[in-house]
Chains A and B, each alone.
Chain A
Amino acid sequence: MPTTASHGRVIRYRSRGQRAHLQPHATRRPTRLPTSGQLMAQGAGLLLPRLTGVPLIHRVVADDRLAVMLAKSVVELDIAAPEDWKRAEYDPTSFTRLTLERWIKVHGDSAIRRRFLLLATIGDAPCEWAERDETKPNQLFLIVEPSEASCGCVTFGPTLDLLEKVHPQLPPTFFNLFVGALNRWIRIYDHRDAEERAEMLREWAAQEADADQYEIPDVQASIPPCMRQTALDENELAHLKDKIKDPLATKLVEAALALDRVSAQTERPELGDDIGQQLSDCNPPLPCLLALFAEGDFVAAAFDEEAQGMLEVTPEPNLIIPFDPTDSETVRDAFQVFGVACETIAAAGRLIDLMPGNDKWVI
């Protein structure tokens, strides 16, 4: 039953026959006079209605066999904290959610949240509209996709300018390290997507009678000249790294190399044909990060235009990790792979923090 909290004083009337208890030293007064409490103002009167006793959560439990199996596995594997069982109010689904939250937290959640809007889901289908594969009754999926259909943003321009002063081949090397490491786990929309979009528009326009009337952005001409250099290979970069004198450039290169190392700790799981079939009607994954050279550049324009159609069909999740809750090895592998993905995204978030010109994109 909702009740109203009062920040002011509440006037309480005595019941009939109940007398006021006067202090021994108090002057006796006629009882018809109002008490001082009754004379005091009630305060601002701005009250926030409290819903004391109203449950915050209702749970529907239809079949919790898989949730129970998963909860059991994550406890046995020391992935879960047994004390969460009480916090979860003895519900295996809530317990699994708390475990997932805990796992994300120890794998860089705070750095991830600064730069990315992501959602990790454990479910029994590889995407929202996919039917559950009845031939695999024990199959679950850990999927990662952008939450709220929005993505983070990073501007490379000032960083590339800085690195170009150190070495002409450093800008494309840094860009490739960053994007390559992150693209192993989540989708980044960069100038190559913009180029692909422009190419598609050119093909469409070529089929029209007045093809020459269409204005299509020249993406290649808009890419910063420093990006046309050949990237350094691993040995060349290792050799150069120790010679960089600019402290920020050193930090940036070291962080990019660290990002690459974290990302390469494990491989994305291979998805079988059966899962591919379940995803056959999906759009490509939604980008989790937009990589610009400058704010409002041609990549941003291409993204804004393409984004209008990205949700016309359900997009494929960025990361899909299948596992079987009854097989603790696959559960351990799934959480391990997911942990690497989280650490990679967190490392990318920390690197963006170092990159000049990116204060604006903190979420």
Chain B
Amino acid sequence: MQAYVAIGANCEFKLSEAVLIYRAGGKGAFASLHRIKQADDGVPYLAPGEPLTTAFVRTLAQGLGAQVKPEMFSENILARSPDLLVWWSRPQRRVMFFGGTDEEARKISGLVFPHPALIFKLMGKDLFVRAIATISRPSPETVLKAAPYWNTDARGLVCAGSMRVPESSDVASIPGWEGAYFQSEFTHAAGAVRLISHPGGFNGLWRSLVGGKRFPVHCLTDAGETLQEFVARGSKR
């Protein structure tokens, strides 16, 4: 009988196989898979090679995390892969906190504001946020807008700072990620990015929205990409 211990996140990785890759300059490559054996003196050595199979590559990919535990999807999930989770949230009123050195912003910190519909993209622990001008579920062709928030760069990437991010990145963690985003302080603009279009500027817009019911979507600026592109581009611009 074999014995195994798996308590918490602790685990042992035993050397079991080695992949040798042979290249012919630019003329392709092939790989062989070698089991690892142990000599009498304990030193590991490579056993004879065998051709690499797609089944092995699949197993390897699973070991690297390319495996998603079965999850029930709610209506707001837009895309899901082993590395990616994209969801959408309806326009709603939320409390916002402003910190940093901007006195004007700090005056309206902790108040309730209307927000546009938002698209969140989670890649590992990187959170990206975009806005949309519509209130219905977006389609792949929906043109995205820049999220009208500080600490969010031109790619939509959120500077997490001291944000308390959830441990997991699964469907069940979505409320935790949205909560973490809005419960942390917005402190400064992230790079040279035009977040909104409003005569009073960023502070002017949010000041005008205190206690408001609906976010003026005409104040959103184009992000220059569709939802399809946002999902497909990964973390690159």
Q: What residues make up the interface of A, taking CB atoms closer than 8 Å to B? A: 5, 48-52, 54-67, 70, 93-94, 96-97, 100-101, 104, 109, 112-113, 116, 118-124, 129, 140, 144, 147, 342, 345
* Interfacial residues of chain B within 3-62, with CB under 8 A of chain A in the complex: 3-15, 18, 36, 38-39, 43-47
When A109-B1, A118-B2 are in contact, do A50 and B7 touch as well, CB less than 8 Å? Answer: no
Residues of chain A within 8 A (CB-CB) of B7 are 64, 66-67, 70, 93, 96, 122-124, 140
Question: Is the CB of B218 closer than 8 A to any CB of chain A?
Answer: no
* Distance (whole angstroms) from the CB of B151 to the closest CB of chain A: 29
Question: Is the CB of B233 closer than 8 A to any CB of chain A?
Answer: no
A-B contact pairs, 15 of them (CB 8 A): A50-B43, A52-B43, A56-B36, A57-B12, A57-B14, A60-B9, A60-B11, A62-B10, A64-B10, A66-B7, A101-B3, A120-B2, A121-B5, A122-B6, A147-B2
* Distance (whole angstroms) from the CB of A25 to the closest CB of chain B: 38
CA of A121 to CA of B11 in the docked complex: distance in angstroms?
12
Count of B interface residues, CB-CB < 8 Å: 25
Q: Which of B3, B7, B9, B47 has the most C-beta atoms of chain A within 10 angstroms of its own C-beta?
A: B7
* Distance (whole angstroms) from the CB of A115 to the closest CB of chain B: 11
When A50-B39, A57-B13, A57-B15 are in contact, do A96 and B2 touch as well, CB less than 8 Å? Answer: no
* Distance (whole angstroms) from the CB of B38 to the closest CB of chain A: 7
B9 and A123 contacting across the interface, CB-CB below 8 Å: no
- Across the interface, B44 reaches (CB within 8 A) one of A54, A58, A66, namely A54
Residues of chain B within 8 A (CB-CB) of A100 are 3, 5
| A-B contact sample (12 more), CB < 8 A, given A57-B13, A100-B5 | A49-B46, A54-B44, A57-B12, A63-B9, A67-B7, A97-B3, A104-B1, A120-B3, A121-B4, A121-B5, A124-B8, A129-B69
When A50-B39, A59-B12 are in contact, do A121 and B6 touch as well, CB less than 8 Å? Answer: yes
Residues of chain B within 8 A (CB-CB) of A48 are 45-47
CA of A70 to CA of B8 in the docked complex: distance in angstroms?
13
A97 and B4 contacting across the interface, CB-CB below 8 Å: yes
* Distance (whole angstroms) from the CB of A68 to the closest CB of chain B: 10
Residues of chain B within 8 A (CB-CB) of A109 are 1
When A112-B1, A116-B1, A342-B1 are in contact, do A56 and B44 touch as well, CB less than 8 Å? Answer: yes
Give A54's nearest chain B residue, CB to CB. Answer: B44
CA of A124 to CA of B110 in the docked complex: distance in angstroms?
41
CA of A120 to CA of B1 in the docked complex: distance in angstroms?
7
CA of A104 to CA of B2 in the docked complex: distance in angstroms?
9
